[in-house]
Structure 1
Amino acid sequence: MEALNNRVALVTGVGRAAGIGFEVCRQLASQGITTLLTARRAEAAESLAGTLRDEGLDVRPYGLDVAEPDSVRQLTDRIQEDVGRLDILINNAAGTSAYGEQAATADLDQAHVVLETTLFGSWRLIQALLPLLRQSPAGRIVNVSSGAGSHGDPMFGLATNNQMGTSYAVSKAALNALTSKLALEEKESNVLINAVCPGFTATFEGGEAMGAQPVADGAAGIVWAALLDNDGPTGKFFRNKAELAW
């Protein structure tokens, strides 16, 4: 496989330093991968990328709203102009729903916003960037998902009475389904497509005291899927490098 420091990765939804996306950028760039850090606000992307550049990492900021087709088109053009290639796409951007939201009473306008970002935003970006990823000798797409979108998760899954919010759970289940379908379509290419649940991660104050794992540990499983060998799995769902049930 090609040396890591020749590769280019793009990470969406990097809105804050405490988030998983930011740590994914750090871990990818620490391995010599040119990393394109995107956030909805270009100013936030510049600030966060600057923090990582101060660590000596090749991290470049871009504004991107995955829910806006024009924003996706503009980013695609800029990638072509600035670096001319893409090897890794991490779909980390996601919508959130109100804690305790129920299907029978959910605000469907708000549910649409969640799905537009988590599902259609990822889908839109994949469609735009697949031509570049197919040119890579080791194209990788990682859709950051959640056990909330799985029937197999005994704590947060679709068959439990957890309070994660229905639109969030449905959007992640749909993202998992998209992962499976795309992977099947790309089975003859070098593009591997997997979904990864980072697990219960301390992206909020006091999280570790509640039993959440450090952010670096949650990000590590995403980075692992981004760096799979060409004979690695595709169309699967993982947490901490272990396959999960859908």
Structure 2
Amino acid sequence: MNEQTIALVTGANKGIGYEIAAGLGALGCSVGVGARDERRREDAVAKLRAAGIDAFGVPIDVTDDAGVAMAAELIEQRAGRLDVLVNNAGIAGAWPQEPSTVTPDGLRAVVETNVIGVVRVINAMLPLLRRSARPRIVNQSSHVASLALQTTPEADLGGVSGAYAPSKTFLNAVTIQYAKEFGGTAIKINNACPGYVATDLNGFHGTSTPADGARIAIRLATLPDDGPTGALFDDAGIVPW
């Protein structure tokens, strides 16, 4: 692509999201750092710029219709299109999460961010993505979202998760439908499994770094024209749904 690639990463002020922004920026992208918290967002932008990356702040709360629309307008005014969208923002919800004790409000909050928030952002950014020659959408999923792995007795997926894991399974299902809708177009949409990364989502108990976790999203965000779409990936390849 002759023009500079324009990317937006939600939840990019820290952790895996920050490392995705840094990785895309290192490849020459102009990266929108999407985040709710103004101070953390601007601190992340300053840090990325200090590293020579073309970064800009994008105020966005994925649970707010008006805020997401304003984020799309900001990118419209800045670049007129969007080439890469990485839906990284997500929440784990309160623990423990045995299904018998998860409250409807607790489940609703997780789904609102992890699923509806993704749909909200994709749909708001879609007119901008359609103006790109090579639009790429990456949704941050998880190995715990895989029903195939969840029903494999020997698979080690941690404890019972009655809200977070099902929300990511829901996201996987939504992504498949988007891929079907986008069939025959230039838009490629895939889900990424970053692995068990040490972030505040899991109390920093993960066994890999945010930079490790960012690799698969960066790869999916920069797929060639003959790359895959409508699948779930980790660093090793396709993960069964």
Letter of the structure 1 residue corresponding to residue 207 of structure 2: A
SS of 1:37 mapped into structure 2? strand
SS of 2:224 mapped into structure 1? coil
1:202 correspondence with 2:198: yes
SS of 1:99 mapped into structure 2? coil
Q: Which runs of 4+ in 1 moved over 6 A?
A: none
SS of 2:125 mapped into structure 1? helix
SS of 2:117 mapped into structure 1? helix
1:108-147 CA distances to partner (integer Å, 9 max, x unpaired)?
A: 1111111100100000110111111112111000000011
1:99–1:164 contact (8 Å) kept in structure 2: no
SS of 2:148 mapped into structure 1? coil
Match of 2:228 in 1: 233
2:98–2:160 contact (8 Å) kept in structure 1: no
Match of 1:134 in 2: 130
Match of 2:120 in 1: 124
Correspondence for 1:58 among 54, 60, 68:
54
2:34–2:41 contact (8 Å) kept in structure 1: yes
Letter of the structure 2 residue corresponding to residue 95 of structure 1: I
Shift of 1:155: 9.4
Match of 1:242 in 2: 237
2:86–2:138 contact (8 Å) kept in structure 1: yes
d(CA) in 1 for partners of 2:227, 2:207 = 28
Match of 1:214 in 2: 209
SS of 2:227 mapped into structure 1? coil
Correspondence for 1:224 among 219, 222, 228:
219
Shift of 1:161: 7.7
d(CA) in 2 for partners of 1:114, 1:100 = 14
2:198–2:208 contact (8 Å) kept in structure 1: yes
In structure 2, runs of 5+ residues without a counterpart are none
1:146–1:172 contact (8 Å) kept in structure 2: yes
Correspondence for 2:8 among 7, 10, 18:
10
Residues paired across the two proteins, number: 239
d(CA) in 1 for partners of 2:77, 2:203 = 42
1:44 correspondence with 2:37: no
Seq. identity, %: 36
SS of 2:17 mapped into structure 1? helix
SS of 2:185 mapped into structure 1? coil
Shift of 1:99: 3.0
1:70 correspondence with 2:73: no
1:99–1:163 contact (8 Å) kept in structure 2: no
d(CA) in 1 for partners of 2:147, 2:194 = 17
1:115 correspondence with 2:133: no
d(CA) in 2 for partners of 1:161, 1:225 = 23
1:102 correspondence with 2:86: no
Q: 1:100 to 1:40 in 2, by over 3 A?
A: same
d(CA) in 2 for partners of 1:148, 1:121 = 19
1:174 correspondence with 2:148: no
Q: 1:94 to 1:211 in 2, by over 3 A?
A: closer
SS of 2:70 mapped into structure 1? helix
Match of 1:20 in 2: 16
2:144–2:157 contact (8 Å) kept in structure 1: no
Match of 1:89 in 2: 85
Structure-1-length-normalised TM-score: 0.90
SS of 1:166 mapped into structure 2? coil
Matches within 5 A, 1:143-162: 143-153=139-149, 162=158
SS of 1:109 mapped into structure 2? helix
